[in-house]
Amino acid sequence: MVELLTIKTTNKTTLKSLLTAAIEREKQRLKQSITHTQDRLAQFEQEYHMTSEEFQQRLYNLEIDETVDFTDWRMEIETLHLLQNQYKTLKEATVD
């Protein structure tokens, strides 16, 4: 479902340019953050010899106990989902 956001201004041309540039900068920042988070997940996966999906499943099924590392890993997974959602939202956004 498409949502409409209204911003009022006295200078549409300038504001449109500013918003478009800001969105592009934020998309680049999010891409970098996604890559960093994916690298961090890969480190956990290599260290513990399981995928992040397997880790989540085992953690939620109480097959493994929560440790400091596992809390960090779980939070990195959640961060990745958040960043990906934010990127997708900005990628789909249009400024008219």
Q: What is the pLDDT of residues 47-88, one digit of tens each?
A: 999 999 999 999 999 999 999 999 999 999 999 999 999 999
Amino acid at 24: E
Number of other residues whose CB lies within 10 A of the CB of residue 81? 11
Contact between 85 and 91 (Cβ < 8 Å): no
- The band of 3, judged by pLDDT with boundaries at 50, 70 and 90, is confident
Model pTM?
A: 0.88
Nearest to 55 by CA among 68, 46, 64: 64
